[in-house]
Amino acid sequence: MLFRRLFFDKISSIWMVASLATILLMPLIIGIGLYIKAMPLFENTSVLKLVFSSEWAPSKGAFGFWPFISGSLYVTAISFVFAAPVCLFAGIYLTQYASKRLVAIMHPVIDILAGLPSVIYGVWGVLIVVPFISDYAAPFFNTSSSGYSIFAGGLVLAIMCVPYMLNMLIEVFKTVPAGMKEASLSLGATFWESIKHVVIKKSFAGIISAYGLGIAKAFGETIAVMMVVGNQMLNSPNPFHAGYPLPALIANNYGEMMSIPMYDSALMFAALILLVIILAINLVFRYFIYKTQKQ
């Protein structure tokens, strides 16, 4: 009986360690897998040239990823401009001002927003954002646009990132000790002044981290962006023109990638770029968050 229990304990422990190790090694395995697949690409051109060259002609074997990387950066930047202030203020309201009842309502709202599949955001973008841009926003700025544009991608992305960033911001604001705010209030500061000078100051590193992680999330988002961004290479800085972010490039061309030599390597390299950038951002800012939580 005892033997059986100990035997089971042993087996179960081994299984637990093995599965945990597998999960933790996953990014490494993925990275290596993508790297091996992308290797033929490095034989002719250096990595730097691949990343910063703008010449994209797969049939001629020229793979310059800069148009796609810059497209991604552009969309991400626009989404950040919209999402960041909303998240900051909503986070402040929910942790400092809001009644318990509102918080209880907001939790499922944030969860559902975070849980909606990206394809749903894409459909919504096609139905609302795209016509809005072609009919109102673009004429307002004296340009014409089909609506399928960088700007549309940024807007849809912004909404998708809000629940993600907001959840982290709420966690960050919660770690500020109430005593500190009370001390500031008792010195005669108004509520908003205490928030501005104590809460925001104290959680500054956390706010930056939450923003960083939101940016990483936006950078890798695929389907929703791809549905509204137009998928043509960026040729002007006008945000009402179509763009072509990196994830959309991968998703759009998988069908043809076997017919052109090196194309599959190029797409796997694109995936590798995404993985490296996003993992790096995540590791850096998560580290900040852990630091602040420890304090």
Site for another protein in 256-275 (CB under 8 A): 267-268, 270-271, 274-275
In 3-state terms, the chain is what percent helix, strand and coil (to 5)? 80, 0, 20
Spell out, one character per residue from 142 to 161, where the chain touches another protein: x when CB under 8 A holds, - when not: -----------------x--
161-190: contacts with another protein (CB under 8 A): 162-163, 166, 190
Minimum distance from CB of 190 to another protein (Å)? 5
* Closest CB 143 distance from another protein, rounded Å: 26
- Closest to another protein by CB, 24 vs 48, is 24
**Residue 90 binding another protein, by CB under 8 A:** yes
270: left (phi over 0), alpha (psi -120 to 50) or beta: alpha
What are the structure tokens assigned to 138, written together?
Answer: 């673009």
Residue type present at position 284: V
Determine the length of the chain: 295
By CB under 8 A, the count of residues binding another protein is 90
Angle, in degrees to the nearest 10, between helices 66-92 and 246-253:
120
State the first-to-last Cα distance of the chain, in angstroms, to the nearest integer: 47
Q: What does the block give as tokens for 213?
A: 């992680």
What are 82's two structure tokens? Answer: 């919209």
Given 221, 234, 266, 292, the residue binding another protein (CB under 8 A): 221
Site string for another protein, 29-48 (x = CB under 8 A): -x--xx--x-----------
Q: Given candidates 23, 57, 178, 187, which one binds another protein under the rule CB under 8 A?
A: 23
- Site membership for another protein, residue 26 (CB under 8 A): yes
Residue numbers 106-135 binding another protein by CB under 8 A: 106, 108-113, 115-124, 126-128
In the bound complex, what is the minimum distance in angstroms from residue 148's beta carbon to another protein? Answer: 12
8 binds another protein (CB under 8 A): yes
Segment (H or E) for 162: helix 150-174
Task: Give how far Cα 87 sits from Cα of 79, 84, 130, 158, 166, Å.
Answer: 12, 5, 23, 10, 5
